[in-house]
Amino acid sequence: MSEKTVNKQTSDESHHKDYAYWVKLAAISSSSVALLLVVIKFYAWLVSDSSAMLASTTDSILDLFASVMNIVILRFALAPADKEHKFGHGKAESLAGLVQAAFVLGSALLLIFNGVERVINPQVIVHSEVAIWVTIIAIVLTLVLVIFQRFVIKKTGSIVINADALHYQSDLLLNLGVLAAIILSQGIWLQADGVFTIAVALYLLFGAGQIIYQSVYQLMDHELNDDEVAQITAIILAHEHTLGLHELRTRQSGAQRFIQFHLELNDSLSLLEAHSIGDDIEQEICQALAPCEVFIHHDPSSVVPEELK
């Protein structure tokens, strides 16, 4: 095994471990926060009988379910490639995103029904001070979690953590809305409790749509973004022996990127020289976009159709 191959494997393993560490830590953190929020919000709902607080509690229960499911899914998604899954298990992340979206859609519809009922039959919220303090605590905890999740997403690009972060980002607005609804429902605007419940449900529907889009985006083997494709092309063309390239194809599965292309080289190069050039280009691409796998087809320039040059 060549030194370049060993270096590539070492680099990929290092990136994989780093990716696994951060996404697991983010999943455990979100599960812990969600569990705490469910407990305190459920208590506040029992005490106050606020429809908006029920909506907030329901959202936190969904977040807890999604975060726990993420821990389970990530154990599978982060498993290395095996005999039955030679391209790895990264697409499990996208499937998890779709499952999350389905539960969010269902809960949003239930909240709409509950909100409409409270608009038609408004009620004064009792023990509102408990609901207010619980909501403030929820805002602080959620803000800290979202900041950490954004950090992890920047490091890993994980679609599961990104989907999870969408829930908690919506929670910030949700909790602010709940706070306003509780205050307004104290004789100022009784229907505020139901109206904000409906608003939360509509926001959840929007968030579910975003999760579905991102999940399907990866499941359909969409090309890498324009910046990454341009970076790959620049690396290939920068090599002194490269005469051109064609049929560049890219996709992403979980953290892993897959890149393949035809490399146009001079006819006079030996097979060993062409192989060495391909190794150099592969190593540069992997350093720039790790973890990734690069598949190169070496083409003598004379056999490349004119329309592809």
Most confidently modeled range among 189-203, 246-260, 275-289: 275-289
Residue with tokens 């999350």: 100
Rounded Cα distance between 187 and 229, Å, is 58
Average pLDDT over residues 136-146: 93
Where exactly are the structural domains of the chain? 3-219, 226-308
The sheet carrying 292-300 orders its strands as 244-253, 256-265, 292-300
Comparing CA positions, the residue from 69, 68, 70, 64 lying closest to residue 34 is: 64
User: 125 in helix, strand or coil?
Assistant: coil
Residue-wise pLDDT for 207-229, tens only, equals 788 778 877 877 776 788 889 99
What does pLDDT average to over the chain? 81
Q: Which CATH architecture has domain 3-219?
A: Up-down Bundle (1.20)
Closest CA to 63 of 192, 2, 156, 149: 149
Could you tell me the end-to-end alpha-carbon distance of the chain, in angstroms, rounded to an integer? 34
CB neighbours (10 Å) of residue 1?
A: 6
254: CB partners within 8 A, 6+ apart: 77, 78, 88, 89, 90, 91, 92, 93, 158, 159
Residue 296: predicted pLDDT? 93
For residues 219 and 227, give the distance between their C-alpha atoms in angstroms, rounded to a whole number.
Answer: 20
Check residue 103 and give its pLDDT: 75
Secondary structure of residue 126 in the 3-state scheme: coil
Reference 123, options 114, 112, 132; nearest CA is 114
d(CA 201, CA 213): 19
Q: Which residues contact 280 (CB under 8 A, 6 or more apart)?
A: 4, 239
Report, as an integer, the average pLDDT of 279-284. 92
Supply the pLDDT for residue 232. Answer: 94
pLDDT digits (tens, 9 = 90+) for 57-79: 887 887 787 778 777 776 666 66
Instruction: Report the CATH number of the 226-308 domain.
Output: 3.30.70.1350
